[in-house]
Structure 1
């Protein structure tokens, strides 16, 4: 919100002009004659009052629609990062790019993606920032301005139901030294085979412990090739650290 508030007036004017060009039907219906609405006009001119109203509306929306689900959102993004990091360690950049969602295809030296319009983005020696997004669905997103640092926003892998269920019978199954050791072993992310090796239990036992912790909302599991990767949710990390909350980024 502070970054939005600090956006220079000329940048706002340019971006809103692009919006008016790309959505003429909407603009004409609301503003008439192909010009932006009064609110868009005042935003484009850099006036602080409508920008403050916009920020207040966004904050209100965040409190109502995002904040209550933030632990699950954060857990999904962190699990995706762990999955991509494991791919990078296992096979380098080629393996990392090959594990991105199915709408993105790595055909060296070109990364292709399904997109609403035909366009090309040339890196020209610049790096590409991969940004997992919980809300990105269907197709990835890139900046319209080719001069901005290259960023590819792509959908995270959704694992189904929210990772944080309410209290239930699983609470009684969370006690015991073995399950505590399993939780500690998953701290930095691991596969089921690695979990069994770190805790000294059988592969079947490691899988069962991970399943119980996942049902309790303490662990998130994503498939990685022929194996699965387990990571802690913020709740699991908080429990492991004696109730201290996991710092949110």
Structure 2
């Protein structure tokens, strides 16, 4: 269990990040390769990522360099996901290069004590070795993370809209209370499941909340309590809880709505553009627009124009219908 302790000053200094953190998305995507938990939710990405890594000749660096540095475990080095990454990928990579050698050696020692570090890891204290790592991270990001930039942005924008609505309705405490079900606000403490039992006292520094597309399950924070407090938390909630491989819980929706509209409704869980609905349903953009209109007229989704795009998200009725189908109950209105 992780318990984050807030003071009044911490509440005033808590903020929601403007977007996803590219270096954290690299880390979380590497964790997706190391676990079958939630893989169904990333199935298309997983297949595409493995194919493109193979084509780019990155399978061996993935296996021998990246996965050992980013184990899906109780610890991996904090300097690999620096606070500076909120300025974009290149700013984050520059922060990695600027990390003092002493800190790199210390965190490599912690990694070795916790889960075991590769024999070459100590060389990361050398700037030239870190430059090679940064080059690999940039290449990995371009192949695996960047192609999902639009989808990630759409879902982060939908998440920000939901949290900002909670902020307007209930202040910062209302926003913290809306992060559940895996994150529980019990004033003045934010609680969540965690690999280890920890208490984090913010001490007037506030907390930065960063929604993450590739994070699955529990939120993650820095291991070092002296670093600026950041909490990366998953965008996917219990509406998309794991389901059997044959997708049986979705069948009532398919029977009720048809395959394309059921797929579009599922894609709107955390917000999706019309183009993303089209890709999820396997139809043209014009067909996806008609399906979105039908779902909107039925009160299952709501649509908001964002510049040239239209973002579709679930209504409470749509969320209830999808949750009931996932849990194998009768779909409301479906008899």
Map of 1:3 onto structure 2 = 95
Encode CA deviations 1:143-183: one digit per residue, 9 max, x unaligned.
Answer: 111111211111113674383235945527869xxx9xx9x
Tell me the TM-score normalized by structure 1: 0.63
**1:61 counterpart = 2:137:** no
CA distance in 1, matches of 2:317, 2:235: 19
Residue equivalent to 1:219: 311
**Separation of aligned partners in 2, 1:130 and 1:212:** 24
Query: Residue 106 of structure 1 aligns to a residue in which SS?
Result: strand
Residues 173 and 161 (structure 1), Cα distance of their counterparts in 2 relative to 1, 3 Å cut: closer
CA distances 1:70-112 after superposition (whole Å, capped 9, x unpaired): 1001111111111111100011122111110311111111111
Q: Do 1:140 and 1:152's aligned partners in 2 also have CA atoms closer than 8 Å?
A: yes
Stretches of 4+ moved more than 4 A in 1? 166-170, 172-175, 204-213, 225-228
1:161 alignment partner in structure 2: 267
- Give the direction of change, closer, same or farther, for the CA distance of 1:146–1:174 in structure 2 (3 Å limit): closer
Which of 123, 135, 139 pairs up with 1:42?
123
Partner of 2:215: 136
Corresponding residue number in structure 1 for 2:112:
20
Structure 1 residues not aligned, in runs of 5+: 31-36, 183-203, 229-249
Q: CA deviation at 1:211?
A: 6.3
Superposition map of 1:64-213 within 5 A: 64-157=143-236, 160-161=266-267, 163=272, 164=276, 165-166=278-279, 168-171=283-286, 205=297, 207=299, 210=302
Give the secondary structure class of the aligned counterpart of 1:219: strand
Using a 3 Å threshold, how does the CA distance of structure 1 residues 170 and 209 change in structure 2: closer, same or farther? farther
Q: Distance in 1 between matches of 2:113 and 2:121?
A: 13
> Alignment partner of 1:171: what SS?
helix
Structure 1 residues 137, 172: CA separation in 2 closer, same or farther (over 3 Å shift)?
A: closer
Inter-partner Cα distance in structure 2 for 1:16 and 1:149: 20
Q: Secondary structure at the match of 1:220?
A: strand
Task: Output the TM-score relative to the length of structure 2.
Answer: 0.48
Equivalent residues of 2:303, 2:312 under 8 A apart = no
Pick the structure with greater CA Rg.
1
Q: How many residues align?
A: 185
Alpha-carbon distance, 1:12 to partner: 1.2
Name the structure, 1 or 2, with higher relative contact order (CA <8 Å, separation 6+). 2
The RMSD of aligned alpha carbons is 3.3
Unaligned runs of 5+ in 2: 1-92, 241-265, 320-335
Bigger shift: 7-16 or 79-88?
7-16
Q: Which has the higher helix share?
A: 2
Contact 2:301 2:314 in 1 (8 A): no
